[in-house]
Structure 1
Amino acid sequence: MTGTPAQNTPNGRFVSREIRPGLLASLCDIRYRTDTRVEIETQPSLYIGIVVGEAAAPVTVDHCGDIEVQPLCPVLMAFGEPARCLGHHRAGVRCANVGITIAREHLEAMAETYGDDVFAVLPALVSDAPKVRHLPPSGRALAAALDMLNCPYEGALSRLHLEGCTLALLADIGSHMLPGRPSATRRLAPADIERTHAARRILDESLADPPTLAVLARRVGTNVTTLSAHFRAVFGETIRSYVRRQRLDLARTLLRTQTLPVSQIGYRVGFGNPAAFATAYRQRFGYPPSAEARSGR
């Protein structure tokens, strides 16, 4: 996706770089001087974007209407035919986001090269009228997006860094669209795999206040023992450790990008006690959340 603001010189930077033929990475961190509309013409492709700033990004997409892209939540836009997108930006509001555009031909080449189920799913999205899919926050995807914006290198190393972050972001988004690796789930029925992924989606949407295991199992139509065993088989970790890791990864990104107090961020991701949050954070990353906040602000 490429576009040019209409007669407005913003403060900040915009980078667009072809990582591989048919794979484009873009990032921006700017403030517009006036209310600005950015018009983008797309070709058949898949776009993955994450807004890192604090404000939602309103976008108008042909055949889809007005869309609110919420901060920290990845969005997929699939275009099977040329389409037009309009972005709307208010004066003085920070516009910080990253995006990956994958041409349909590159998606098909990836499916042929890697032969994984996810690369069979993605090309199928780019087949007809535009489609938009919102995903829940992912700590790993947000970390990759933030690293793309805050590259510590220059020259050839910066290009290598951007390529690595782009592929990491693509891998994490793909993991949310794949029903588990065949080697890990070969003894599970397709219905069991789907129930397990449904449980993870519920957890992703309610990290701050997840349902109990009993309620979660009931919502996906199984029991606690079966769900716990299947979750470990599909995702390689327990439900408890998954929720804890996702909370802390999300907290790390919030500490880097938001101006909320450390304790408030802990509450926001589901820790009811600041001391418990600080202890869990230190155990995962090796330093307290206050150090992360100081380095990111």
Structure 2
Amino acid sequence: MPHIYEHVFEQFRIVDPDDSDRSIVDDFAGRSQWLEQPGCLFQRNNVVLGSRIRTEGVIKAGLFVSVILKGAGSGRARKGAKTISYSDASMVVMAFREPTLWDGDAPRGAHMQAAGVAFPVSSLERLGLMDEFIGLFDSQKRNVFVASLKASPRIKAIAMEMISPVAAGRAADLLLSAHAMEILARTMLTLRGNEGLGLVSDQKRLRLGAVVELIQSDLRHPWTIAELARHAGVSRRSFTAQFHRLYGVSASEYLRTSRLKSAREALLHQGLSVTEAAYAVGYGNPANFSTAFRRHFGYVPSSCQRDGVS
């Protein structure tokens, strides 16, 4: 019997790179479903990753939309596009005009709560959306389109209902198909109409990606928005707007979340005290760190040491 991922992949691997590239495809395939109407693969994820994951494969031509309610990671086409990152409350859109090599990564410990729909070209043709699909590519030579957007309240509500169905049986299947169609339609309308989208150019995307790498390289540094904007080569106002469009969160929120996640990893796996973890990621006051940590994760940082919370 063909594997369910063969609907959208010519080749595929999902592995744990920290465990000799052990295949974990079945862990994810068990949460996927092919919807005959409208003709798409639906992927439901609501899990805390017990290991780092890497995805590799050749994706068939088509349109792919992922709504990330919670989670973090990145992906890139081997040719034709820059690395695209995602975070909480974001939506990643990918379109491929021909089979494309793609790889992605997600960190250990991330709570991945996401709904994804993948429409092969044959489904887009049947739905009469080929003109809109081709229109995503700004030249005949370009075969890859990617965008990271902020998920609207309506899109987030749809994704949540797809992840946690409110019905069962045939009614649930019909509702799931309707939700997949609505995500597709709203995505196409947003991209075509540029409704508040303000897509970031490849050059600006590259500069913002360099800023993100800079942040991650030294989380202890007291970064300011003005300083990060200078590194991006734009005004503070432009930097703030472009960063939010690309990553779905403000630069301040991205920095805060990155610091807290790094500190959590240190508490769980490096044996650092709460004070040491706070200083390691740039918090001068351990009490402020503990408050921010509890608000973000829902438990105090000392729980990581006492209970091994993961």
Give the TM-score range, shorter chain: 0.5 to 0.7
108, 115, 119: which one aligns with 1:102: 119
Change (3 A) 1:178 1:90: closer
- Name the counterpart of 2:165: 151
- Work out the percentage of aligned pairs sharing the same amino acid: 18
Question: Alignment partner for residue 56 of structure 2, among 22, 26, 39?
Answer: 39
Q: TM-score scaled to structure 1, two decimals?
A: 0.52
C-alpha contact 1:41 1:85 (8 A) present in aligned 2: yes
Task: Report the RMSD for the aligned CA atoms in angstroms.
Answer: 3.1
Q: Which runs of 5+ in 1 are unaligned?
A: 112-117, 180-196, 203-297
- Is 2:60 aligned against 1:60? no
TM-superposed deviation, 1:167: 1.3
Distance 1:40 1:16 in 2: 19
Letter in 1 for 2:85: E
Could you tell me how far apart the structure 1 residues matched to 2:187 and 2:77 are?
21
From 174, 177, 195, the counterpart of 2:188 = 174
Aligned residues: 179
The answer on whether the counterparts of 1:40 and 1:84 sit within 8 Å (CA) in structure 2 is yes
C-alpha distance in structure 1 between counterparts of 2:152 and 2:32, whole Å: 23
Q: What amino acid does structure 1 have at the position aligned with 2:116? A: G
Equivalent pair of 1:62/1:130 in contact (CA under 8 Å): no
Matched, 1:129 2:143: yes
What is the CA-CA distance between 1:120 and the residue it aligns to? 2.5
TM-score, normalization: structure 2? 0.50
d(CA) in 1 for partners of 2:185, 2:62: 17
Kindly indicate whether the alpha-carbon contact (under 8 Å) linking 1:57 and 1:88 is maintained by their aligned counterparts in 2: yes
C-alpha displacement of 1:62: 2.1
Gaps of 5+ in 2: 1-7, 16-21, 199-310
> What's the CA shift for 1:12?
11
In structure 1, the residue matched to 2:272 is none
Cα deviation, residue 21, structure 1: 6.4
- Describe how 1:214-233 pairs up with structure 2 within 5 A: none
Residues 48 and 112 in structure 2, CA contact (< 8 A), matched pair in contact too: yes
* Counterpart Cα distance in 2 of 1:170 and 1:11: 22
The structure-2 alpha-carbon separation of the partners of 1:33 and 1:135, relative to structure 1 and needing over 3 Å to count, comes to closer
| Structure 2 residue identity aligned to 1:135 | L
Alpha-carbon separation, structure 1, partners of 2:28 and 2:57: 20
**Distance in structure 1 (CA, Å) of the matches to 2:42 and 2:180:** 7
Matches within 5 A, 1:195-274: 200-201=196-197
**2: CA distance, partners of 1:152 / 1:21:** 20
Contact 2:72–2:106 (8 Å) recurs in 1: no
Shift of 1:149: 0.4
Q: Return the alpha-carbon distance in structure 1 between the equivalents of residues 61 and 90 of structure 2.
A: 23
- 1:119/1:73 CA distance change after superposition, 3 Å: farther
1:82-136 deviation line (CA, Å, top 9, x unaligned): 112222122222122111111222222322xxxxxx7632243377421212333
Shift of 1:71: 2.4
- How far did 1:43 drift? 0.6
Mapped partners of 1:30, 1:12: distance in 2 = 13
**Any conservation in 2 of the 1:38–1:88 contact (CA below 8 Å)?**
yes
Instruction: Give the secondary structure class of the aligned counterpart of 1:135.
Output: strand
Tell me the residue number matched to 2:87.
70
Matching residue of 2:179:
165
Alpha-carbon contact 2:45-2:113 (below 8 Å) kept? yes
